[in-house]
Amino acid sequence: MSRAEPILAYGSGMAFARRGGSLALRSKVSRLLGEGGHSISFEFFPPKDSDAEDALWGALIQLEDFDPSFVSVTYGAGGSTRDRTIDITSSIGRRTSLTTIAHLTCVGSSRAELHEVIDGYSEAGIENVLALRGDPEGGLGVPWVSHPDGLDHAIQLVEMLRERGDFCVGVAAFPEGHPESASLEQDARVLADKQRAGAEFAITQFFFRADDWFGLRDRAEAAGCTMPILPGIMPVTNLAQIKRFSALSGAEFPAALAARFETVADDPAAVRALGVEVATQLCEALLDGGAPGLHFYTLNRSSATREVYRNLMGRPDLERH
């Protein structure tokens, strides 16, 4: 996705209450990913009001039952959720045994302001950060204008995070290539460079064709990138919403798939059921093809993600995650 809530929700995470129930047992994501098996993770966005916060906690509690590897919390476009991202990420850390990742973007911030946020993450006990550039203030398609004393690319934020604290740093990856990338190969080289700068894992934009993720994995490997690249899964629950998200993020909603959804467009329950079926098939293809885990864009709701995950239960490769 290309922009944080309220338009798009960025976030994800790994939780492990049942894995020990103690704060001391929470880990850096890199360690969890290195344990073998497949990771399962969920992304959330910071709630705007108390009703939204109740919904978020409801979703978190239900998804915690799946013993996820981590959960992540997005950072609003232009830094708009800065304090809420810190608050909700540290609150999840305090109130659950989930391992958390806080997102952070460069948009509209000076280096000094980024230092302040990073120090805030450290003070709040946040150990895992997803380092992102963010979209240009006018959205994708509008030229990127950096803050006069800011950063231009996520790789610089990776370096800053690694220099300033003891963080495990993740980055974004794009199965169809980032819309501003000159080529898919250049896009993969950027990912490999982010690893060289200190990134330890990547999470992808949502996508609908397993082959796009396989292509990214192969290009990344050819460029020297060895870190886990977790596929981002967005179960379709609402046709208008997914079209909007696709337009905002540059991720294609393939025409053949859109045509299948159009046949049931007047029936929200059928759209949702098809969305769960399509996401389940995508997850199966990815796992069969060697994906190291699955990262679900939950939009702060748990039911579709739970249905997809239930459909996958029983797979031996998901027994340990």
Ligand X SMILES: Cc1cc2nc3c(=O)[nH]c(=O)nc-3n(C[C@H](O)[C@H](O)[C@H](O)COP(=O)(O)OP(=O)(O)OC[C@H]3O[C@@H](n4cnc5c(N)ncnc54)[C@H](O)[C@@H]3O)c2cc1C
Binding site for ligand X (CB under 6 A): 1-4, 10, 74-75, 77, 103, 105, 130, 132-135, 153-155, 172, 178, 180-181, 186-187, 190, 203-205, 232
State the minimum distance, in angstroms, from the CB of residue 195 to ligand X: 12
Residue reference for tokens 């898919």: 184
Q: Least distance to ligand X from the beta carbon of 116, Å? A: 18
Asked if 281 and 308 count as a contact pair (C-beta separation under 8 A), the reply is no
Which one from 5, 35, 43, 137 is the annotated catalytic residue? Answer: 43
CB 52 within 8 A of CB 91: no
Smallest distance, Å, CB 229 to ligand X?
10
Q: Identify the H or E element spanning 141.
A: none
Sign of CA dihedral 210, 212, 218, 223: negative
CB contact at 8 A, 306 and 66: yes
- Residue among 15 and 129 whose Cβ is closer to ligand X: 129
- Distance, in Å, from the CA atom of 276 to the CA atom of 164, rounded to the nearest integer, reads 41
Nearer to ligand X, 109 or 302 (CB): 109
Let me know if 180 is a catalytic residue.
no
Closer to ligand X by CB, 72 or 97: give it.
Answer: 72
Q: Where is 118: in which H helix or E strand?
A: helix 111-123
Count Cα neighbours of 200 within 13 Å in the Cβ-side half-sphere: 17
Q: How far is the CB of 314 from ligand X (least distance, A)?
A: 28
**In this complex, which beta carbon is closest to ligand X, that of residue 19 or of residue 187?**
187
Q: Which residues are marked as active site?
A: 43
